[in-house]
Structure 1
């Protein structure tokens, strides 16, 4: 969808309410009373077929056709069967947006037997009217004095946007937020969400300067690609916190089948939100705790914590919770420990958490914070207080407030108890210091800050350099293409092994035998213990052992070292196969040498496919422990080294690998490279529906894949756009030098640093409108880490063979809005490359790219004295006008015709 007409939804100059009356329980009447109570400044009119002259002193007409003006927003509160006809009338009259508060459209059917909701959806698409709902609580925008809801109270104004799913939950949030003094910039629920989606709203709110944080409550994600793209864009500048309901089949309206290899569907949402940069919480109370921490606490620079308390017991509770959530305590410096020894009794605990003793008063708390202030290993401090007969909680709170007012430390508090510490909590609240009622809540809130910080680093992290294995992609693609042509649903074991090998993943050499006699001959020729696997048609599907149960059926017998054992084992395998899979065709046996590996360390890696989210990379322990230990973690392709490490780090097997591997760093990298390679396989060969390597083992030489299976089906799109290899090309400069023009990669940060170091101050000023001596890691990471959807960057590079690295010569960048109407460009060329025609080559490539993806126009701003760029722009066909307000030259280049009037209005085209 898009942000089309959302201005009319959030900033309407006029509103009509359909179905309002003065009856106390009338839905439309409640909405009208709320609009009047919020002092809505625009025009109001009511439509009611009972032909009232006025409703609550607001003009009323009987029909849509009787309106004497076209409202920006219509609010529909009439019975379900009337809604489709009314929406059609409103759209024909030119109304651009409508909120349908009426419920039951999904359960009320038309004469054809179809739910009315779908009729409304078709009308909206046909006539272009935007719909919020049906079954929504409505919309509040306090800054515009809009309360177009049936809620029992208004919200406070603030900087937070709430996008909910359920009206009843939204009512609870309103009540709860008011009590905590939490205000909102926008507040609404989606209801059935037949038209306006969360991603439409996120795109709109991401551009709103009054919105600092976005809270999401949702049940499903219908368009994961656009959702991820919109949230990734928003989360770079705003806090995005999400809570999902319907996490288990029992709570879902319509439980969905899980993809093969996944036992918990909620793990998919974890992976999606993690990749999008959303801080996920498990409930509404936790959501607001996280919000309070993220908005009130200073941004953290370190992930560890100091706990300060007037007793050891509360500190222990805090540390227990910190450890369970994966947090860490700060190690105090020797200087700090010495200072505490001088201040505290001899029997103090001499470590973090710091016990200030039961009689700690305001001065002791202040002195403790003074010591921590001077210790630059300390960044975050939880100050706790348990009620005491000897001290006043409010006096201690006041001392903390005074001490932290100008402190560099991130201080948050936990005043335990209830009746005697209320005033202290209120003092912290008024001072803007986060305060919590229990150690568990305080630590949970701190870890929200830590996890949010980690997710933002993950979005901006520069991947370490990764060199592909020597791969034969064309051969692998031919294998799959031939199987698709023949109508196969799986690949034979030998073919599956071949495509894994084609991608450079080490595999155990196997011999394929049609009967037992041939198995014996292979064993004799090898003269070593062997493993024997029975192959059958059903066994060619990935993740089969998880469905059948490892104890009930074994496809492989290991370490067979004599002829009789092999014959007996083959007989056992065959009888078990006949018992469990009598309908599955027998395909023979696979034999390979028994593999010497680190005991107990076997990974299960794979690709599975979700009907909504598309391909998913899975990683965890091999065998029964997948289900017993729940050690299967997920990520969305494409992966790079940073994302692969993040996925691997979540598994139990990662800890075992670090502990027991002969060479942990080398093996960790090998697993990550295997995950990246599998991710690339599903990008190169989208017909791969499922792929499993079971197990991936380790020896002194590294990793080796023992067995694998591949399922194939029609291609589907990835939720996250991969690196666009097809946009790479070579070209020749005027001097005859060959350069490559390609999309930027995350690995280009070092080259970007060198590139900027070779720019003159004037070139930097022309590009950034002011001189920049250097750029931070975060700034550079944002330049090179893009999603290839809203943003595109082409770089001109040559290879420096002597240093084995790419050298950047020029860069062109565009940022495209959510509606794909405008792409704002910026281009910069290295000073020693001017006169080579490189700027023209880069701009031509970007113009063609934007035109091909349907962007309406390209725009840019140039300093008036930047004559070379203005000259190039005119040659490319840009119009050039001086902007008196900004004192820059505005450039515009039409690329495609507008397809709708709303596009012309948004672009200011007559």
Structure 2
């Protein structure tokens, strides 16, 4: 839905509370009292059907139609059956936003039989009202003295936004945060979230400079495509930390349909949040610890940790937690060990963690930190102190604070205990050094910081090229669509093999026989050991072994080298088949040469589809271990090589591959290439519902699929992350030089040519584009230019073969940023200096204009420096309206692409 009217929700000039009275337990009365006690500066009104003149001193009206003004925000606290009618009345009165606090609307039903909350949603859509709720605790904006909730206390002002789904959890968080001195820029819960959702609020908060971090409590994600798109934008500029409740089937509010090959939904949410750049934590306590680390700790240059304490015990506890969370201790250099030896007792262990001794003085703490600061291997230091009779905790804290000034070290602390160390903790809070109550909390918060930077790094990674986007894969699509049109819900074994072979995946050569005689004839031709697999209809579906119980049904017998052995084996396979799948149609036997030349770690890789989150790529162990170890990991397509390797690294099998493979790097690359290919298959052929390669083995030439199964769906599946839009590619010929140029959307793999393109530009062209001179573009700068979300942003690049050699070069680029409401698109364009007069800038701009017009964007805008005459001439040629902006000293350009269809669109454009 976007950010439409959300400014009226968060910054209303006037509020009406519907249903408020002076009864102590009245919900509306509680909200009114909180608004008044919080010092809300705007106008307040009450609507109550009883003939009250005032409620708590606020003017009361009998009907909505009697209100003297149309308020910016309405807060509805009336019985469930009255709410839909009230929303309609408020809409007729011109109200644009409403908070519905009334609960029970998911269980109360309208005359049509649907829950009342859907009637509220429909009424809001009919009249264009944005609705928060129903069943929400309300909204706080402390900086604007607005407490529109029924909470027992107000929140402190701060820079953190909290968006939750449960009112009771929200109440406890307010209390908890107050005790820890944590303030909020915004605080609210979604309730049933029938209109305003996480994605809308994240879009709004991402643009609000008063919000520097976003905390999310999530029970479900109704629109994951918009959620991921919004969070990926927000998480690039501010930390986003999430708690997901309902992690196991027993705690889920509503039972959900699980996709094939997945035993619970939580790993799917894990994959979604990771891909969006969100730090996921395990509980509310960890949420605030993570907030402490992300907002106070410096960026982590290295991930290893040094631990120092006045005793062995705290260090041991810290190392235990660090190891459990996958962290590593830093190795001290020889120079550091020798320098520390001069400070320590003779019995010092000469290693990390560093035991300073029970009687460690403030001077020893400070000197140790100064020595560590000189070690290039050391980046992060956990400083711990346990109370003792010999030293004062505050004095030691002061020494740590002084030693930390001007150092490059990322220092955080843990002062153990309670009553005697509170002053020391307060001192750390005052100067901005993170401090924690226990070694476990400190290490967990540190690893959360590390994990957050890892997921952020994934957002900026630019992968090596692997998938060739120009190859023809029409054969595979024809096979699938022919089966789909015939009404089949799966492919045959041979068809499934043909599909993945068309995408370049290698398979074991397989022959198909109708009966035992056919198998014998094949053996007589092959004259070498063979493997036999019985094929039946249900066995052609992916992930079937998990449903039947791995090992309980024998479908393959290997290494047969005589006719008698073949006859006996076929009999055994038929008996197994009749016992386990008597109603499944028999399709024959598949015969393969015994694959003794294949080996390595056996993987199960494939595609499954979730009804909410769409296609998913899965990777893990083949055989019984996939269930015993719960090793199946999940990622969202589309994948590139970087994302595929991140998926592989999360599996237990990755460690086996690293340790036991004869050629680990080659095999790792082979698995990653397979995962990227599977991702591309499901994007190109969206009618594929499930695909499993089982097992995926290895030869000297790469990965080999031994068996494959593919399921089909009635309707195509859509990834929640927009894949590369190949349909937008087009070729053109430059009129002067005659060079053939492809204009296409940018890819993450374009970073090298994109970086070269910017480095070759003249200082003047750089100033025109970025409004300042820039000599250098870092990896992070260029990665952000090419790692885009095609849902929110579009970059078209013009590439051509290099005139002087092999490879491509980028000749020009045009970029468009579209707001969350698809109202305006801001553009920027640049072409190589030597191509002036070729018309490439015009072609790129026209490409972007056509794209935005087709997707319904209302207006295109841009800013141009007054002396950028070539761009101003191009804008005039394209029909832009130009106006000088005296405050910014730029020329504002505007081009209407489509007529605004809604009043709110016209209002917002007029306001700008």
> TM-score if structure 2 supplies the norm length?
0.99
What is the Cα deviation at residue 680 of structure 1?
A: 0.3
| Higher mean C-alpha deviation, range 599-608 or range 727-736 | 599-608
Quote the Cα distance in structure 2 between the aligned partners of 1:739 and 1:433: 54
What is the Cα deviation at residue 495 of structure 1?
A: 0.4
Could you tell me whether the CA contact under 8 Å between 1:864 and 1:888 is conserved in 2?
yes
Q: Give the corresponding residue for 1:51.
A: 51
Q: Give 1:386-535 correspondences, 5 Å limit.
A: 386-468=386-468, 472-535=472-535
Q: Give the corresponding residue for 1:887.
A: 889
Q: Give the corresponding residue for 2:861.
A: 859
| Higher mean C-alpha deviation, range 561-570 or range 845-854 | 561-570
Q: Give the corresponding residue for 1:743.
A: 745
Quote the Cα distance in structure 2 between the aligned partners of 1:908 and 1:301: 47
Deviations 1:578-624 (A, max 9, x none): 11111110000001011125756100000000000000000000011
Q: Give the corresponding residue for 2:852.
A: 850
Could you tell me whether the CA contact under 8 Å between 1:132 and 1:190 is conserved in 2?
yes
| Higher mean C-alpha deviation, range 198-207 or range 325-334 | 325-334
Could you tell me whether the CA contact under 8 Å between 2:224 and 2:720 is conserved in 1?
yes
What is the Cα deviation at residue 2 of structure 1?
A: 1.3
Q: Give 1:157-236 correspondences, 5 Å limit.
A: 157-236=157-236
Deviations 1:123-182 (A, max 9, x none): 111111111001000000011110000000000000110000000000000000000000
Task: Pick closer, same or farther for the CA change 1:803–1:666 going to 2, 3 Å.
Answer: farther
Q: Give the corresponding residue for 2:20.
A: 20
Alignment of 1:269 onto 2:266? no
Quote the Cα distance in structure 1 between the aligned partners of 2:140 and 2:364: 47
Could you tell me whether the CA contact under 8 Å between 2:599 and 2:697 is conserved in 1?
no
What is the Cα deviation at residue 303 of structure 1?
A: 1.1
What is the Cα deviation at residue 112 of structure 1?
A: 3.4
Could you tell me whether the CA contact under 8 Å between 2:600 and 2:697 is conserved in 1?
no
What is the Cα deviation at residue 395 of structure 1?
A: 0.8
What is the Cα deviation at residue 405 of structure 1?
A: 2.7
Deviations 1:841-882 (A, max 9, x none): 111111101111111011000000000000000000000110
Could you tell me whether the CA contact under 8 Å between 2:47 and 2:64 is conserved in 1?
yes
Corresponding residue SS for 2:790: coil
Q: Give the corresponding residue for 2:623.
A: 623
Quote the Cα distance in structure 2 between the aligned partners of 1:832 and 1:467: 31
Deviations 1:872-899 (A, max 9, x none): 0000000011000000000000001111
Q: Give the corresponding residue for 1:2.
A: 2
Could you tell me whether the CA contact under 8 Å between 1:596 and 1:699 is conserved in 2?
no
Deviations 1:34-74 (A, max 9, x none): 00011001000000111100111100011111111110100
Could you tell me whether the CA contact under 8 Å between 1:470 and 1:503 is conserved in 2?
no
Q: Give the corresponding residue for 1:353.
A: 353
Q: Give the corresponding residue for 2:338.
A: 338
Task: Pick closer, same or farther for the CA change 1:603–1:475 going to 2, 3 Å.
Answer: same
Quote the Cα distance in structure 2 between the aligned partners of 1:471 and 1:795: 20
Could you tell me whether the CA contact under 8 Å between 1:471 and 1:502 is conserved in 2?
no
Quote the Cα distance in structure 1 between the aligned partners of 2:510 and 2:92: 69
> TM-score if structure 1 supplies the norm length?
0.99
Task: Pick closer, same or farther for the CA change 1:777–1:600 going to 2, 3 Å.
Answer: closer
**Which stretches of structure 1, 4 residues or longer, exceed 4 Å deviation after superposition?**
469-472, 597-600
Q: Give the corresponding residue for 1:590.
A: 590
Could you tell me whether the CA contact under 8 Å between 1:598 and 1:661 is conserved in 2?
no
Quote the Cα distance in structure 2 between the aligned partners of 1:883 and 1:635: 46
What is the Cα deviation at residue 419 of structure 1?
A: 2.6
Quote the Cα distance in structure 2 between the aligned partners of 1:646 and 1:828: 34
Q: Give the corresponding residue for 2:729.
A: 728
What is the Cα deviation at residue 702 of structure 1?
A: 2.0
Corresponding residue SS for 2:825: strand
Task: Pick closer, same or farther for the CA change 1:477–1:184 going to 2, 3 Å.
Answer: same
Could you tell me whether the CA contact under 8 Å between 2:688 and 2:716 is conserved in 1?
yes
Deviations 1:101-122 (A, max 9, x none): 1101111122333321111111
Structure 1 alignment gaps of length 5 or more:
none
Corresponding residue SS for 1:848: helix
Quote the Cα distance in structure 2 between the aligned partners of 1:441 and 1:594: 53
Quote the Cα distance in structure 2 between the aligned partners of 1:468 and 1:342: 60
What is the Cα deviation at residue 212 of structure 1?
A: 0.4
Q: Give the corresponding residue for 2:765.
A: 763
Corresponding residue SS for 1:343: coil
Q: Give the corresponding residue for 2:556.
A: 556
What is the Cα deviation at residue 407 of structure 1?
A: 2.0
Quote the Cα distance in structure 2 between the aligned partners of 1:470 and 1:4: 40
Q: Give the corresponding residue for 2:672.
A: 672
Q: Give the corresponding residue for 1:604.
A: 604
Corresponding residue SS for 1:742: strand
Q: Give the corresponding residue for 1:793.
A: 795
Corresponding residue SS for 1:797: strand
Quote the Cα distance in structure 1 between the aligned partners of 2:880 and 2:130: 34
What is the Cα deviation at residue 470 of structure 1?
A: 9.7
Quote the Cα distance in structure 1 between the aligned partners of 2:4 and 2:287: 30
Could you tell me whether the CA contact under 8 Å between 2:152 and 2:171 is conserved in 1?
yes
Q: Give the corresponding residue for 1:241.
A: 241
Corresponding residue SS for 1:464: coil
What is the Cα deviation at residue 800 of structure 1?
A: 2.9
Quote the Cα distance in structure 2 between the aligned partners of 1:733 and 1:411: 57
What is the Cα deviation at residue 681 of structure 1?
A: 0.3
Could you tell me whether the CA contact under 8 Å between 2:856 and 2:898 is conserved in 1?
yes
Alignment of 1:715 onto 2:703? no
Provide the aligned C-alpha RMSD in A: 1.3
Task: Pick closer, same or farther for the CA change 1:173–1:389 going to 2, 3 Å.
Answer: same
Deviations 1:767-801 (A, max 9, x none): 01110001111111001111111111111111238
What is the Cα deviation at residue 418 of structure 1?
A: 2.1
Quote the Cα distance in structure 1 between the aligned partners of 2:598 and 2:219: 43
Aligned pair count reads 910
Q: Give the corresponding residue for 2:880.
A: 878
Could you tell me whether the CA contact under 8 Å between 1:17 and 1:45 is conserved in 2?
yes
Could you tell me whether the CA contact under 8 Å between 1:164 and 1:216 is conserved in 2?
yes
Alignment of 1:254 onto 2:246? no
What is the Cα deviation at residue 563 of structure 1?
A: 1.4
Task: Pick closer, same or farther for the CA change 1:613–1:597 going to 2, 3 Å.
Answer: farther
Quote the Cα distance in structure 2 between the aligned partners of 1:597 and 1:419: 68
Could you tell me whether the CA contact under 8 Å between 1:461 and 1:781 is conserved in 2?
yes
Structure 2 alignment gaps of length 5 or more:
none
What is the Cα deviation at residue 408 of structure 1?
A: 1.6
Could you tell me whether the CA contact under 8 Å between 2:246 and 2:252 is conserved in 1?
yes
Quote the Cα distance in structure 2 between the aligned partners of 1:909 and 1:391: 63
Could you tell me whether the CA contact under 8 Å between 1:619 and 1:633 is conserved in 2?
yes
Task: Pick closer, same or farther for the CA change 1:597–1:93 going to 2, 3 Å.
Answer: farther
Corresponding residue SS for 1:328: coil
Task: Pick closer, same or farther for the CA change 1:2–1:469 going to 2, 3 Å.
Answer: closer
Quote the Cα distance in structure 2 between the aligned partners of 1:327 and 1:273: 21
Could you tell me whether the CA contact under 8 Å between 2:19 and 2:76 is conserved in 1?
yes
What is the Cα deviation at residue 468 of structure 1?
A: 3.5
Could you tell me whether the CA contact under 8 Å between 1:216 and 1:240 is conserved in 2?
yes
Corresponding residue SS for 1:553: coil
| Higher mean C-alpha deviation, range 157-166 or range 245-254 | 245-254
What is the Cα deviation at residue 406 of structure 1?
A: 2.4
Could you tell me whether the CA contact under 8 Å between 1:812 and 1:843 is conserved in 2?
yes
Q: Give 1:676-687 correspondences, 5 Å limit.
A: 676-687=676-687
| Higher mean C-alpha deviation, range 589-598 or range 611-620 | 589-598
Q: Give 1:534-553 correspondences, 5 Å limit.
A: 534-553=534-553
Corresponding residue SS for 1:522: helix
What is the Cα deviation at residue 356 of structure 1?
A: 1.1
Could you tell me whether the CA contact under 8 Å between 2:257 and 2:611 is conserved in 1?
no
Task: Pick closer, same or farther for the CA change 1:591–1:617 going to 2, 3 Å.
Answer: same
Deviations 1:242-265 (A, max 9, x none): 111111111112111210011121
